[in-house]
Amino acid sequence: GAVVSQHPSWVICKSGTSVKIECRSLDFQATTMFWYRQFPKQSLMLMATSNEGSKATYEQGVEKDKFLINHASLTLSTLTVTSAHPEDSSFYICSARDHWGSGTDTQYFGPGTRLTVL
């Protein structure tokens, strides 16, 4: 089955620093990847859609200069949280759309990255 990995799985950083999270599709090509954020006991909120070779599309209310997204290849997208603050502490999850999948347009999720900003 389609596997998506994320790295790191958890990170603790000081306020004001930047954190980069990687999302990789391991056994399929993903022209489109999605970044979500999930606060405790809340559902997944889409932050942005990452398209290979082009600029990401951000959802309303998500600062594109704070959450930098790069999708340089068909198997890798990165999310950089710049100048992180405690309110950015959350569970960040990526998903990848299987470009050559069975036609269900299924999104496969990475295991998530738990970010804690002190």
Looking at beta carbons only, is 82 or 109 nearer to other proteins? 109
Pick between residue 44 and residue 82 the one whose CB is nearest to other proteins.
Answer: 44
Residues in contact with other proteins by the rule CB under 8 A: 32, 34, 42-46, 49, 91, 93, 95, 97, 104-112, 114
On the 0-12 / 13-18 / 19+ scale of CB atoms within 10 A, 87 is: exposed
The conformational region for residue 55 under phi > 0 = left, psi -120 to 50 = alpha, else beta, is: beta
Q: Which is nearer to other proteins, 45 or 74 (CB)?
A: 45
- Shortest distance in whole angstroms from residue 22 CB to other proteins: 15
Cβ proximity to other proteins, 5 vs 82, nearer residue? 5
Query: Closest distance between other proteins and the C-beta of residue 82, in Å?
Result: 24
In whole angstroms, how close is the CB of 43 to other proteins at the nearest point? 4
> Smallest distance, Å, CB 83 to other proteins?
26
User: Between the CA of residue 68 and those of 41, 81, 90, 97, 101, what are the distances in Å?
Assistant: 26, 7, 16, 20, 28
Strand partners, 36: 46, 93
DSSP 11: E
> Residues 102, 11: contact at Cβ < 8 Å?
no
